């Protein structure tokens, strides 16, 4: 099975690089399932129903989010009606939406996607390790589902790596989101799970993690209130992680980054 996970989409430039390139990438790579983190897609803060459908129209199968999931208030009323839009699984019981789902790939096989938010330097949600463990107890890789993808949304590299090793051998791909900077540690762990600490963002890298530079610099240098952060609007780089799985076990056979456009060096995963 061939899967693609696209990093955090930031603002209009991020949406444009995704929508402009994904149909071609889907065909060239013969992708069976596409997952995208869209928590910064609406002006850098949250996502809307309209943007969700823009992504679905170009081939995205599942959208994950993160700590900005509720920034666009309309999503609170919408999320229960869209099973393909996930919020972190470790929100307290009673929170709208869902944190995991089983989705049908283009060849008919089933893929479990789980989305979790970590706690170091983040909102103090329920135990992410216990939440993931509970989600995986209900599905078996290579048995009830052909692949499992875990979006690990977190700030601290240590906590992300700990989660990767915690699920090693139980998921196909554990990939980090949130910090918007692609890391160079993509690998297949000893138990067969593909891992990367952060996939990077789909956004303009002539920026401060996707935001226009002036306001973040002023906040750091002056420690005074400033105007609202706004996404950088230059040419974006599409950052994603490509995965091929073993048809029998569901574990990783090949993992590599994909980068297209913008300022970062291009990288083709094959």
* 231, 11 contact by CB (below 8 A): yes
Catalytic residue chosen out of the listed positions 68, 115, 178, 180: 68
Percent residues over pLDDT 90 in the chain: 97
* CATH code of the domain covering residue 184: 3.60.21.10
Residue 26 lies in a domain: yes
Percent residues over pLDDT 70 in the chain: 100
Residue 267 lies in a domain: no
- Concerning whether 68 is annotated as a catalytic residue, the answer is yes
- Average pLDDT of span 61-85: 97
Q: What is the pLDDT of residue 224?
A: 82
What would the pLDDT profile of 193-216 be if each residue is shown by its tens digit?
A: 999 999 999 999 999 999 999 999
| Domain carrying residue 241 | 2-260
- Average pLDDT of span 169-190: 98
Q: What is the pLDDT of residue 227?
A: 87
Residue 268 lies in a domain: no
What would the pLDDT profile of 122-149 be if each residue is shown by its tens digit?
A: 999 999 999 999 999 989 999 999 999 9
pLDDT over 90 at 223, yes or no = no
Residue 90 lies in a domain: yes
pLDDT over 90 at 225, yes or no = no
Q: What is the pLDDT of residue 81?
A: 98
Residue 130 lies in a domain: yes
Residue 265 lies in a domain: no
Residue 50 lies in a domain: yes
What would the pLDDT profile of 162-176 be if each residue is shown by its tens digit?
A: 999 999 999 999 999
Picking from 30-44, 77-91, 209-223, 255-269, which range would have the lowest pLDDT averaged per residue?
209-223
- The tally of domains found in the chain comes to 1
Residue 269 lies in a domain: no
């Amino acid at each position: 099975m061939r899967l693609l996970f696209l990093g955090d989409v930031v603002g209009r430039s991020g949406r444009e690089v995704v929508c402009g390139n994904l149909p071609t990438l889907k065909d060239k790579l013969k992708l069976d399932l596409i997952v995208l983190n869209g928590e910064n897609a609406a002006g850098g803060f949250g996502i809307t129903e309209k943007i969700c459908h823009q992504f679905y129209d170009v081939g995205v199968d599942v959208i994950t989010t993160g700590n900005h999931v509720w920034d666009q208030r309309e999503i609170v009323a919408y999320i229960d009606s869209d099973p393909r839009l996930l919020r972190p699984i470790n929100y307290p019981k009673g929170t709208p939406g869902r944190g995991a789902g089983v989705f049908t790939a283009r060849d008919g096989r089933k893929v479990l996607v789980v989305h979790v938010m970590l706690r170091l330097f983040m909102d103090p949600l329920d135990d992410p390790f216990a939440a993931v463990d509970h989600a995986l107890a209900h599905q078996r890789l290579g048995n009830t589902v052909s692949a499992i993808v875990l979006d690990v949304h977190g700030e601290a590299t240590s906590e992300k790596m700990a989660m990767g090793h915690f699920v090693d051998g139980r998921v196909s791909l554990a990939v980090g989101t949130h910090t918007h900077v692609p890391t160079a540690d993509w690998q297949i762990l000893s138990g067969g799970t593909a891992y990367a600490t952060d996939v990077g963002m789909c956004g303009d890298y002539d920026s401060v993690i996707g935001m226009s530079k002036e306001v973040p610099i002023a906040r750091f240098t002056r420690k005074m209130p400033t105007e609202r952060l706004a996404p950088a609007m230059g040419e974006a780089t599409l950052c994603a992680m490509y995965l091929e799985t073993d048809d029998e076990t569901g574990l990783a056979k090949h993992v590599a980054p994909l980068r297209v456009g913008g300022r970062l060096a291009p990288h083709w995963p094959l």
